[in-house]
Amino acid sequence: MPIGAEYTPPSPYDWVPPGGGVRWARVGELGWHALSLPCYLGNRVLAGLGEASGAVIEEDVPERLVWLIEPKAPAVQHLGDHEEITVAGDDGSYLFVPGMARARLVWWRIPPSPDRLLTDADQLVEAIAVLRPGVRP
């Protein structure tokens, strides 16, 4: 490794592109679905979840946080019509999966690890409901 270069440990997941790359992946193809929130709300939900949060992708355009959740989680099925919440699953939607060394446009706010990948959908919805009382857990 060149002097001054920042070390990025390899990902334990073959679906994460190397280095600072990015992969356009169909949601569901990789074994999880996704729930996203605008950053102004997502940052507060992330703080509320604390260590209970799994991996989180942050996007600059639009400014959103994306949680990886178990497929077809019952806790999120009623959230599809909520204006601030996007739930993506087996509906043909895509998202960018960033490499571990990526630091702009789309990157890992909380990198995936063997003990921190999916966020429990029930806990995620409860954290959202604290901030948005109209969202029921």
- pLDDT surpassing 90 at residue 121: yes
- pLDDT surpassing 80 at residue 34: yes
What is the reported pTM? 0.86
* Highest-scoring range by mean pLDDT, 25-34, 77-86, 122-131: 122-131
- pLDDT surpassing 70 at residue 11: no
Surface-to-core class of residue 37, CB atoms within 10 Å of its CB (0-12 exposed, 13-18 middle, 19+ buried): buried
CB atoms within 10 A of CB 17: 19
Banded pLDDT at 12 (limits 50, 70, 90): low
Of residues 64, 68, 65, 61, the one with CA closest to residue 105? 61
